[in-house]
Amino acid sequence: MEGREVRTHPQCAERVLTLNGEGASFTESFCMPQGYNAIAYQLSKPAEVVIRLDPRHSYDARHFGRFFDAESSDGRVIVTYTKKTHASEDSSDGLEEFRLYIAIRFDGGCKLLKRWAEQHYKYDEKRGSQPASRYVFEVCRLKTRGLVISAGFDKGLVEAEAERLFSNYENSNYEKLSMQGIALPQTAQADYINSRIKQHPELIPDGLSPEEIAIAYSCACNSLTGMLVRGSRHGLLAGLPWFFQFWSRDELISAMALASLDMDAAVALLIKNLNASGIDSRIPNRVPSTETRCADSVGWLFLRLSQLTEKLRLSDSQMGLLEKGIANLMSNHERGGLVHSELQETWMDTRAADRKGFCIEIQALTIASYRLLYELTGKDVYKKQADDLIKRVRQAFWNGKTLLDTKDDPVIRPNPFIAAYACPGLLSKAEWVSCFESLLKALWNEWGGLASVDKAITAFVPHDDSEERKSYHNGDSWFWINNLAALAMHKIAGEGFRGYVKKIISASTTEVLYSGALGHHCEISPSNTLRSAGCFCQAWSDAFYIELVNTLFILGNRHGENIRVMRG
């Protein structure tokens, strides 16, 4: 069996399959309903499906102490998985760590296999990420048109969830599947999005239809809201499969797009990060914490607060936190009138990027911070500090043609685009045009993205698929930056860079729909070709694609308007 065509819909992903040597094709569709620990899978006609299981924590590569039991009856398979310690890999032997129940609900026939089989992981092997093969448990072989798999620690709840979802998914009843918050665009809203995109044919790339942009937009909205964690541990996961933590920078960068989908959730993220700011004004880099510090989260917080200020009601104590935060920022990190950051403290957080010192986006975000405080308090001191910092930044970073990435290093990187987004008043329109032209000359990839470093220098690495990934911040193209750059060029220079903007839209839309994890926007692409790489589902990539489409086609420049595209 081989895949021939892949399609993405708001409700599910679809793949057209061809039986090897027979030419017959059929369609499979699958989705993971939000709010459930389950996956639903359906075929256009009955076929054999083998269920393989390997339940574990993400970074647990232990082989021993894994015990499965399975029983089958009346279209149901119930699996009990017990994980115990093993003397060869643990300090104890035979102690139960957890017990997990997996319910498989299906129509058709079933043969229990209950055997171990070696599974090879080509992507891990390609990246040099070990182990690249692992024994997994083959539970059963089904002859079926559809199934639901549910998992959890309460056997009764797991079985009930599988039954409930199967009864709906069996009939393609997406409306019932949308219970408990699955984000599916309503028909009227989807039609509205499509109609808005069609009103701007001059911005639609050649070879791409309005419907493709509309469906990619809906998928990105669903992807972003799907990474929200609600309740007492409120936050936004940075990405899947391996950025499953709350990264303050990623949350705040994504907050603007999230505000157009779920204003309450976006505001909650801003307030959470405001309350988390430390004595030196820095917001913790990640929850759970890391040793790496974060220099730019506080600036993104101020910027997002300024963009959504009409939707917020800050208390006196929160206002005090903002004023204290900017004072502490300059007290602890100001050097010669500019804001200093250490190695690995910006979003380019690898040592190879070597960005210790004075970074352009940090200065721009600080200017935005002063402007917010002036807007909120009316105190002239903040306006003066913003104006003075603009003068110092222009003197230190503007060379007459472009903005430097860091004050003391001429290496060209795409971060001046962040400065343009955060502080468009830093340069005149003519100066920004010159800056953009210089950046594009050094960084542009014809497929529709920006390299992360000047392609003409020896440090540039066009691609590196290994886990070490030397190209990460020294070549790889980052989709969130590409989408941000398109947004900045469109807002500041309009038609002058429309060709670049359209190519970025084309590349990003293509990646969401036809590459990587279907319906999600990935982290990076190699510079030398458009290809999904890195983390296949990345919140800030989704977010800036949403923000780009909102600005170009749907909302224009109406920041912070909640268009309620998704049902929350």
Cβ atoms of 413 and 447 closer than 8 Å: no
Q: What is the pLDDT of residue 309?
A: 84
47 with 37: CB under 8 angstroms?
no
Domain ranges of the chain: 36-164, 187-554
Using CA atoms of 291, 296, 299, 305 in order, give the dihedral in degrees to the nearest 10.
Answer: -70
| pLDDT number for residue 18 | 63
Q: What are phi and psi of 93, to 5 degrees?
A: -140, 125
pLDDT of residue 6: 45
DSSP state of 132: -
Residue numbers in the chain where pLDDT is lower than 70: 1-24, 169-189, 278-280, 557-568
Q: Which residue has the tokens 């974060």?
A: 294
Structure tokens at 518: 């279907």
What is the 3-class SS of 82-131, one letter each residue?
A: EEECCCCCCCCCCCEEEEEEEEEEECCEEEEEEEEEEEECHHHHHHCCCC
Rg (CA), the chain: 25
Chain centroid to Cα 521, Å, comes to: 6
Q: What pLDDT is stored for residue 20 in this prediction?
A: 55
Q: Is the dihedral of CA 544, 213, 472, 487 positive or negative?
A: negative
What's the pLDDT at 175? 42
Q: Are 322 and 373 in contact (CB under 8 A)?
A: yes
Q: How many residues does the chain have?
A: 568
What was the pLDDT predicted at 182? Answer: 35
Strand partners, 524: 478, 533
Q: Transcribe 446-486 into DSSP letters.
A: TTTEE-SS-TTSTT--S---SSS-TTTTTTPEEHHHHHHHH
Rounded Cα gap, residues 545 and 484, in angstroms: 8
381 Cβ neighbours under 8 A, 6+ residues apart: none
Name the residue with tokens 């911005």.
Answer: 203
- Are 223 and 519 a contacting pair, CB within 8 Å? yes
- Terminal-residue alpha carbon distance, the chain: 38
Using CA atoms, how far apart are residues 397 and 351, in angstroms rounded to an integer?
A: 22
The H or E element spanning position 525 is strand 524-525
Domain 187-554 has CATH 1.50.10.10: yes
The continuous run of DSSP H or E covering 365 comes out as helix 360-377
